[in-house]
Amino acid sequence: MVEKSTKVVDEQGLHMRPANNFVSAIVKYKSDITIIHNGNEINGKSIMNIMAACIKCGNEITIRCEGEDEEAMLNEAIALIEGGLE
Where are the domains positioned within the chain? 2-82
Using one digit for the tens of pLDDT, what is the confidence trace for 6-18? 999 988 899 899 9
Q: Are 69 and 29 in contact (CB under 8 A)?
A: yes
Q: What pLDDT shows up at residue 85?
A: 81
CB within 8 A of 27, min separation 6: which ones?
45
* Chosen CATH of 2-82 out of 2.40.50.140, 3.30.1340.10, 3.40.50.970, 3.30.70.260: 3.30.1340.10
Q: Does 15 qualify as catalytic in the annotation?
A: yes
Catalytic position from the list 4, 15, 45, 56: 15
pLDDT band of residue 86 (cuts 50, 70, 90) is low
Question: Average pLDDT for residues 1-8, to the nearest whole number?
Answer: 97
The DSSP-derived string for 20-68 is HHHHHHHTTSSSEEEEEETTEEEETT-HHHHHHTT--TT-EEEEEEEST
Q: What percent of the chain has a predicted confidence (pLDDT) above 70? A: 99
Helix (H, G, I), strand (E, B) or coil at 5: strand
